[in-house]
Amino acid sequence: MGRLACVDLPALPLQLLLREHPEWRAGAVAVVAEDRPQAPLLYVNDAARRCGVLPGQRFAAALGLASDLRAGSVSAAQVEDGIRAIACRLRRFSPEVEPDHGGAGTFWVDAAGLERLHPSLRGWSRRVAAELEQDGFDATVVVGFTRFGTYAVARSGRGVKVFATEREEQEAAGRVRLHRLDLEPEVRERLAGLGVLTVGELLRLPACGLRQRFGEQSYRLHRLAAGRLWTPLQPLAPQEPQRREADLEAPDADAQRLLFLVKRLLDELLAALARRGEAMTELRLHLVLDDGHESTESLRPAAPTLDAVQILGLVRLRLETLRLSAGVVELRLTARGVRAAACQLKMFPSRRDRAAAHRAFARLRAEFGQDVVARAVLREGHLPAARFAWEPLEALPERLPAPRVVAPRPLVRRIHHEPVPLPPRPRRESDGWLLRGTEHGRVERLVGPYVVSGGWWSRAGSHREYYFAEMSRGGLLWIYHDRRRRRFFLEGHVE
């Protein structure tokens, strides 16, 4: 059977808080749900427990038990960033790492096939624990054969444990007491009243009766321990850093011209990071010179940001101090990011200058005409082109729109100002229907029709049958057949 390792970091939010404040380690420390006196405690360290401070107590009440209690809140975004950083560190020991997002601090690592790289799995486990300890984390590493077996043993002790056989793992997991696992206290007390204190004793009970008397959580724990909820390893896909590069037509060593090129690439990098919900923490500037030499510069902003002006200021200062032996012929930018809060994902500063925006609008109108600055507004209409209109924008509204970051990219229908007539559909399509010539390919599939009919209140009534046309070269067109005109039109396309 394949070997599987469980790496458990108990109370991960508390460990992240102590990494941020290492001077607190000697005293009583707790993680609170929020920064207020009546907030409940979520995690406490051993020093706080010795003073009688327990999770669930209010911070104000806990101060009466431990006057030197230090506390702080850890957001879900900070925990997620910590999980990704730990997974990246564990990926140095195995390419497949799966974090358990339901229980923060637990990771499963594929330990199969490592014998050629490490003398023994015990030595590999100790290296993993030592690496995490060097980063300031306290971790337990258990190597076995099943998810539940390694997880249960990891939650019941500390250090490194390697099982030689699956039977040995099952016996060790059966001795784990239920209070070490994620089981509701009320259910655990009711089971204790029946003399069921360990996983092995729980497995002796019938699963159906357990579900009926104690609920879904105990039933799921029974199925996990019995091996009936087996799932394959689902490793976390690594986030590759964003890269952009450009080749210069002629060697150039001028800092200002290089800065303009960096700005063009930087805008693309920041947009890509924003789509992933990240903010930049590091920018690597790699220069390839005409004489064969290369130079790599690393720039770090004071805090994760998407402010291009701030980052360009750092790039300008670095370029002005460089002494290049020859002109630059190739430029590469690499950006690393971390998950960012909503306020950090804004591509522009939060304090916008309305007067400056109005001055910019005035300059645009003076150069291109009074109607050049406009905004789209919704209208009542039964035809797609009649459901919106453009009206001049004289000034910015008092309440600016607040775009939100979405994980999947939404599809957008782009409508032409006027429908484009299409060639008639041939009766016999031996080579397929060529809507827009050979450069767009033929129609692979039509999805529809979606009938839009109306206009009976006027003489020019309408009856249209809309279709989505999937093209052989990847395009998706939005077309309709006008029954009154007896021909097809291109309304727009989907991106």
Percent of the chain having pLDDT more than 90?
Answer: 9
Residue 218 lies in a domain: no
Domain-ending residue, one of 116, 135, 166? 166
The structural domain count of the chain equals 4
Q: Is the domain of 113 the same as that of 257?
A: no
Model pLDDT for residues 44-77, shown as the tens digit of each residue: 998 999 999 988 889 888 888 888 898 988 887 7
- The helix-helix angle for 166-174 and 147-155 (nearest 10°) equals 50
Q: Is the domain of 27 the same as that of 97?
A: yes
- Is 274 in contact with 306 (CB distance < 8 Å)? yes
Q: Is the domain of 59 the same as that of 117?
A: yes
Pairing of strands 97-100, 106-110: antiparallel
Give the range of the structural domain holding residue 376, as residue numbers without chain letter. Answer: 354-392
Give the per-residue pLDDT at 349.
46
Q: What is the mean pLDDT of the chain?
A: 82
Spatial strand order in the sheet of 487-494 = 413-421, 487-494, 476-482, 462-471, 443-454
Residue 229 lies in a domain: no
Model pLDDT for residues 344-394, shown as the tens digit of each residue: 555 444 455 667 777 777 767 766 766 778 878 887 776 777 777 778 877
Does 7 have pLDDT greater than 90?
yes
Q: Is the domain of 13 the same as that of 157?
A: yes
Q: Give the residues across from 152 on adjacent strands.
A: none
Cα separation of 140 and 132, whole Å? 10
Q: Is 345 exposed, middle or buried (0-12, 13-18, 19+ CB in 10 A)?
A: buried
Domain-ending residue, one of 115, 140, 166? 166
Q: Is the domain of 374 the same as that of 315?
A: no
